[in-house]
Amino acid sequence: MFLEARGIGKSFGGEDVLRGVDLSVAQQTTLSILGRSGCGKTTLLKIVAGLIAPDAGQVLLRGIDITNLPPQRRHILYLYQEPLLFPHLDAFDNVAFGLRLRDRPEPEVREATETMLAELDLSEQRHKMPHQLSGGQRQRVAFGRALAINPALLLLDEPFSSLDSETRGSMQQLFKRIAARHAITSIFVTHNLKESILMGDAIAHMRDGALHTYATKEAFVQDPGSGVAEEMEFWDGLRFQ
């Protein structure tokens, strides 16, 4: 398995946030993790990224234990809910930042950045500053900066939660296309039921500090604890006269 977390436990102030959590992600797939706010989804992502140390358990990437490695040595990239762009850099230089940090030759940086901007339909915005971009455009720039350095694993923490429904839908489709094109391995965290089904090749549900992973989407839909039945009952119960 490409990524594994085994027996992850974490407490804050005497409260158990994660209780023996196991997860696995196959290469070139996206695992959706669904759960309510405060259930521990973000804590789990930060442990995988190395931003928080677990109280128990281990994280393995490509079979290698990375539990005690610092974030910069994991080749894992964490994307927050809000796109954290450098306000003094335009879209082009934000995307190019990671490549330049790795001392890539400038012609290679420019070619890779132009290609990424074109893939993300941002070529015409290349010289705009972050404050001149829409929310969706800022998120695309953040994606471009992340993908340009070719991380082993991409962690997405409710990346579209601040977008309006139309922009959110277009970003979901864009990410799926980019993920397929670049063979991305990722974990996508969301509290949105529909989004979890749409974005994941596999689905897991976090509640009460435990994570349950489903073998198929059908198994997730049929589980009474997933919330799908209640959602369907709501829509079936609407009657328009």
Spatial neighbors of 233 by CB under 8 A, at least 6 apart, are none
Higher pLDDT, 12 or 240: 12
DSSP 8-state assignment for residue 166: H
Handedness of CA 119, 123, 127, 130 (dihedral sign): negative
- How confident is residue 239, by pLDDT bands cut at 50, 70 and 90? low
Q: Does the structure show a pLDDT above 60 at 150? A: yes
Do residues 152 and 61 make contact, with C-beta atoms less than 8 angstroms apart? yes
Q: Does the structure show a pLDDT above 60 at 238? A: yes
Secondary element (H or E) of residue 165: helix 165-181
Tell me: the pLDDT tens digits for 10-64? Answer: 999 889 999 999 999 999 999 999 998 888 999 999 999 999 999 999 999 999 9
Tokens representing residue 171 in the block:
């970003």
Tell me: the pLDDT tens digits for 98-132? Answer: 899 888 999 999 999 999 999 889 999 999 999 99
1-15, 158-172, 225-239: least confident range: 225-239
- How confident is residue 230, by pLDDT bands cut at 50, 70 and 90? low
CA 67 to chain centre: 19
Res 166: pLDDT: 86
Task: State the Cα–Cα distance between residues 123 and 154, nearest whole angstrom.
Answer: 23
35-39, 178-182, 187-191, 224-228: least confident range: 224-228
DSSP secondary structure letters along 175-214: HHHHHHHTT--EEEEES-HHHHHHH-SEEEEEETTEEEEE
Q: Does the structure show a pLDDT above 80 at 190? A: yes
